[in-house]
């Protein structure tokens, strides 16, 4: 499967917003275009505006276009607001839950933890980052990774865990107690533009 392996800060610069909540991405100088002259005042066209909104979500949740299109199709077929459902499905991804719980600093670190088989869902091993975490599911780690997870938690002290997750720091586990809502997502995106991009 194809994946982006280049500098991650370039992705934040490309869409103009930090895609990871770490100083390397949130620094103001990182969000200006590269080069000695910085912003050149290019006029964005309607297509480009909608594509950038879609790319924000792709970069933030670390997925390629084909996979993102499947989430879009699933959200469009379900009953309810397509934009709200799209964000809900993306938030329920296993690698994102590990990141939101504060067990990893970035989505890329969370994805690596999952792919390497260190995650247990309700006591069973799961190595798929796209696995959907349902209400009531308990996510824990194999014992060999406890030291690394505690170091990650200490490095991002003050991290705010969304209300739909219940973290137990002593046991290094997290339980999904509700479905995520768009208000609980610490990321500003216009889902209407994303939907328009696919129409």
| pLDDT value, residue 182 | 84
What is the reported pLDDT for 30?
Answer: 56
As a whole number, mean pLDDT of residues 62-86 equals 93
pLDDT at 94: 95
Q: How far apart are CA 128 and CA 130, in angstroms?
A: 5
| Pair 59, 19: CB distance under 8 Å | yes
Q: pLDDT, tens digit, for every residue of 3-49? A: 777 887 878 777 877 777 776 666 665 566 666 655 555 677 888 88
Ordered DSSP codes for 94-107: HHHHHHHTTSSSSH
Rounded-to-integer distance, Cα 137 and Cα 26, Å: 32
pLDDT at 67 over 80: yes
Q: Above pLDDT 70, what percent of the chain?
A: 89
pLDDT tens digits along 90-124: 999 999 999 999 999 889 999 999 999 999 999 99
- Asked whether the predicted pLDDT for residue 1 surpasses 60, the reply is no
Task: Report which secondary-structure segment, H or E, holds 9.
Answer: helix 9-15
Identify the pLDDT of residue 101.
Answer: 93
Looking at every residue in the chain, the average pLDDT score rounds to: 87
Report the Cα–Cα distance between both ends of the chain, in Å, rounded: 26
- Condensed to tens digits (0 to 9), the pLDDT of residues 138-163 reads 999 999 899 999 998 888 877 889 99
Residues 116 and 83: their CA atoms lie apart, in Å, by 32
Joined tokens for residue 172: 């290094």
Domains of the chain: residue spans and CATH: 9-90+191-197 (1.10.1050.10), 93-178 (3.10.290.10)
Residues 6+ apart with CB under 8 A from 115: 127, 129
Q: What confidence score (pLDDT) does residue 9 get?
A: 80
Map tokens 């309700």 to a residue. 122
Chain centroid offset of residue 4 CA: 15
């Amino acid at each position: 499967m194809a994946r982006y392996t280049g500098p991650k800060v370039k992705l934040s610069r490309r869409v103009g917003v930090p895609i990871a909540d770490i100083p390397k991405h949130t620094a103001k100088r990182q969000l200006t275009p590269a080069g000695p002259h910085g912003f050149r005042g290019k006029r964005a066209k309607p297509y480009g505006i909608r594509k950038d909104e879609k790319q924000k979500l792709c970069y933030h949740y670390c997925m390629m276009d084909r996979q993102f299109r499947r989430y879009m199709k699933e959200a469009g077929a379900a009953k309810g607001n397509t934009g709200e459902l799209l964000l809900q499905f993306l938030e329920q991804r296993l690698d994102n839950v590990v990141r939101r719980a504060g067990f990893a600093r970035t989505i890329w670190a969370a994805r690596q933890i999952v792919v390497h088989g260190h995650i247990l869902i309700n006591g069973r091993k799961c190595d798929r980052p796209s696995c959907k975490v349902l209400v009531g599911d308990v996510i824990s780690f194999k014992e060999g990774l406890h030291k690394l997870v505690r170091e990650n938690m200490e490095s991002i002290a003050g991290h705010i865990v969304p209300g739909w997750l219940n973290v137990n720091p002593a046991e290094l586990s997290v339980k999904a107690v509700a479905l995520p809502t768009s208000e609980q997502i610490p990321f500003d995106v216009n889902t209407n533009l994303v939907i328009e991009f696919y129409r």
